[in-house]
Amino acid sequence: MYSIGETAKLVGLSTYTLRYYEKEKIITPLRNANGERTFDEQHIQWLRFVIRLKATQMPIAKIREYTELFLEGEHTTRQRLELLQNHQVLIQQQLERLTSVESELQYKIENYEKIMTSTTK
């Protein structure tokens, strides 16, 4: 079992963020005899998944929706699948936009390098 501080360090989040995720019902920590939040390995794995979803720009509302579906049980498998598939489409669109921007940046960089090379001769 991990304290909120230990959990925060393990997953690379602040204790504030962990409390926020609890408030948003994305994670439900256990409580010890003193009422302090404690986290186990399943919590750690779940938080790492949530972090990956956030890294792909999934909104908190969608993460909460996914969490609620997960907690409801296996009968929500299709809904969870659809939610993740829809998000995957958004990720693919993000990748296409980033690839396009990266190409434009590469073009500009090459032009500046040519200018710099020609002015130093």
Any idea what the CATH number is for the domain that residue 13 is in? 1.10.1660.10
**83 in Cβ contact with 65 (< 8 Å):** yes
Other beta carbons within 10 angstroms of residue 8's beta carbon come to: 19
Alpha-carbon distance of 67 to 61, in angstroms, equals 10
Q: How would you write the pLDDT of the chain (121 residues) with one tens digit per residue?
A: 999 999 999 999 999 999 999 999 999 999 999 999 999 999 999 999 999 999 999 999 999 999 999 999 999 999 999 999 999 999 999 999 999 999 999 999 999 998 888 876 6
Which residue segment(s) compose the domain that 114 sits in? 2-119
For residue 31, which of 6, 3, 72 has the smallest C-alpha distance? 3
pTM: 0.80
Count up the domains in the chain and report the number: 1
Write down the pLDDT at residue 117: 87
Q: What is the DSSP letter of 74?
A: G
Write down the pLDDT at residue 121: 62
